[in-house]
Amino acid sequence: MDVKKLFSLEGRRGFITGGAQGIGECLANAFSELGADVAIVDVNQDKAKAAAEKIAGKTKGKVIAYGCDVTSPESVDKMLAAYISDFGRLDYAINNAGICAMDGALEITPKTFESVIDVNLNGVFYTARAAAKQMVAQGGGGSIISTASMSAHIINQPQTIAAYCASKAGVVSLTKGLAVELSKYHIRVNCVSPGYIQTELVASLKDMLGIWLGKMPEGSRLGFPEDLIGAYVFLASDASAWATGSDVVVDGGLYNPLKTAETKKGRPCGRPFAFTVKP
C-alpha cells in the first residue's frame, strides 16, 4: 500500500465556502500546498480574491476566488457553473460558511434567528446539493465535507447561542442523511465539529477565553485553524474511502461524555450538573 498516495490531494479539484478568512482560508492554503486546485468561495468577493492571490503567490497552485451567497440557490448554481468552466470537474466540496449570533433566546429577533439557520444549515444544504448534482453528473464519486461544531453536541456556556447550536446540530443530521442518499453514487459525505478555534472573531472575545480554557481538560488548550487541517485532509483524500456519515469532533477534549474528572472550576466535564433546591 502506498500510504503517501492514500493521503494525497495532488490533482484534486474543489471549492471551500467561507474561504476568505479563518478556518476556510487556512484549509485553502493547506489544500493548495498539498497539490489540490482550490476555489475560494465567499460572500465577500474582494476578500476572497485577496486570499486567493495571497495563497496562489505562496504555493504557485491554481487558486481562484468566487463571490457567492450560500443562502441563495441561484447564487450557488451560478458560482458552480463558473467553477466548472474554470476547473472542469469537482472532486471535493467543503461547506464551511457560517455565522453566529449571541442574542439570548428571549431577545433574539426572528430575522436574526432565521439568518443563522439560513447561512449555517440552509447554506450547507444548497452548496452540498449543488456539489452532489455535479458529482453525479460527472461520475466517479467525490467527497463532501461540512463544518459543523462541537456546539452540535453541547450547549456552550456562558454565551447564549441556542440558534447556533440548533443550526450546527442540523448540519450533523443533514450530513448523515445525505451520506445515506448519496452512497449509491460513491459520494462520501462527512462533517468536522471543531471546538473553540482562535480565529480573529473568537480571539476578540477576550472576556470569554479564560472561561472556555477553564472548561478544557488539564493540559489542553484552545485550538487554532491549523489544528483542523488533518481532519479535512483525511476526509478529502482516499484515506477515508470507507468513511461516510461521520462527524469528526476536534475540540481538544472539551466534549467527552465519558469524563469523570472535574474541571478547574469544579464542574463535571461533559455532564450536566444538577441544581439543588433548598427546602
Determine, yes or no, domain membership for 260.
no
Name the residue range of residue 89's domain: 3-250
Determine, yes or no, domain membership for 274.
no
Report the pLDDT value the prediction gives residue 258, as an integer from 0 to 100: 56
Cross-strand partners of 92: 14, 143
Determine, yes or no, domain membership for 271.
no
Active-site positions read 149, 164, 168
Determine, yes or no, domain membership for 33.
yes
Report the pLDDT value the prediction gives residue 204, as an integer from 0 to 100: 76
Determine, yes or no, domain membership for 265.
no
Q: How much is the pTM? A: 0.91
Per-residue pLDDT 10s for the chain (279 aa) are 899 999 999 999 999 999 999 999 999 999 999 999 999 999 999 999 999 999 999 999 999 999 999 999 999 999 999 999 999 999 999 999 999 999 999 999 999 999 999 999 999 999 999 999 999 999 999 999 999 999 999 999 899 999 999 999 999 999 999 999 999 999 999 999 999 999 877 777 888 888 998 888 989 999 999 999 999 999 999 999 999 999 999 999 987 655 544 444 444 333 333 333 433
CATH number at 218 reads 3.40.50.720
3-state secondary structure the chain: CCHHHHCCCCCCEEEEECCCCHHHHHHHHHHHHCCCEEEEEECCHHHHHHHHHHHHHHHCCCEEEEECCCCCHHHHHHHHHHHHHHHCCCCEEEECCCCCCCCCCCCCCHHHHHHHHHHHHHHHHHHHHHHHHHHHHHCCCEEEEEECCHHHCCCCCCCCCHHHHHHHHHHHHHHHHHHHHHHHHCEEEEEEEECCECCHHHHCCHHHHHHHHHCCCCCCCCECHHHHHHHHHHHHCHHHCCCCCCEEEECCCCCCCCCCCECCCCCECCCCCCCCCCC
Phi-psi region of 246 (alpha: psi -120 to 50; beta: other; left: phi over 0): beta
Determine, yes or no, domain membership for 77.
yes
Residues 168, 151: contact at Cβ < 8 Å? yes
Nearest to 173 by CA among 155, 159, 193, 187: 193
Report the pLDDT value the prediction gives residue 261, as an integer from 0 to 100: 44
Report the pLDDT value the prediction gives residue 274, as an integer from 0 to 100: 35
Determine, yes or no, domain membership for 268.
no
Distance CA 252, CA 7 (A): 23
| Count of structural domains within the chain | 1
Determine, yes or no, domain membership for 276.
no
Report the pLDDT value the prediction gives residue 278, as an integer from 0 to 100: 39
Report the pLDDT value the prediction gives residue 133, as an integer from 0 to 100: 98
